[in-house]
Amino acid sequence: MSKEQWIIDRERLYEEIFEKGQYCEDCNNNEVTKDPYGTGDSPTMRECNGYDVEECPGVALEWVDGMYEGDYDESQFS
């Protein structure tokens, strides 16, 4: 895998993790704004203040052996 592909895969994993939000709850980089528009019913907004994919604890936990699990296709090996 090229370095460029490695970087792209890490960034894609970071985006998926942010969308799910499962690691964001206890993360120091997570900033939550309740009712950001002041309407009383606007949804809570979540923002990541981590400026580097490497700061994301979810990426550290989900990245397995230098490989993005989302690219793993079990049928290749059967």
pLDDT at 61: 87
Encode pLDDT of 40-72 as tens digits.
888 888 889 887 888 898 888 888 766 655 544
Higher pLDDT, 51 or 23: 23
| Average pLDDT of the segment spanning 32-46 | 87
Tens of pLDDT, residues 4-17: 888 898 999 999 98
The neighbour count for residue 26, using CB atoms within 10 Å, is: 7
User: For tokens 């964001």, what's the residue?
Assistant: 24
What pLDDT does 22 receive?
86
Q: Which long-range contacts (CB under 8 A, 24 or more apart) does 2-6 make?
A: 6/66
What would the mean pLDDT of 13-36 be, rounded to a whole number?
89
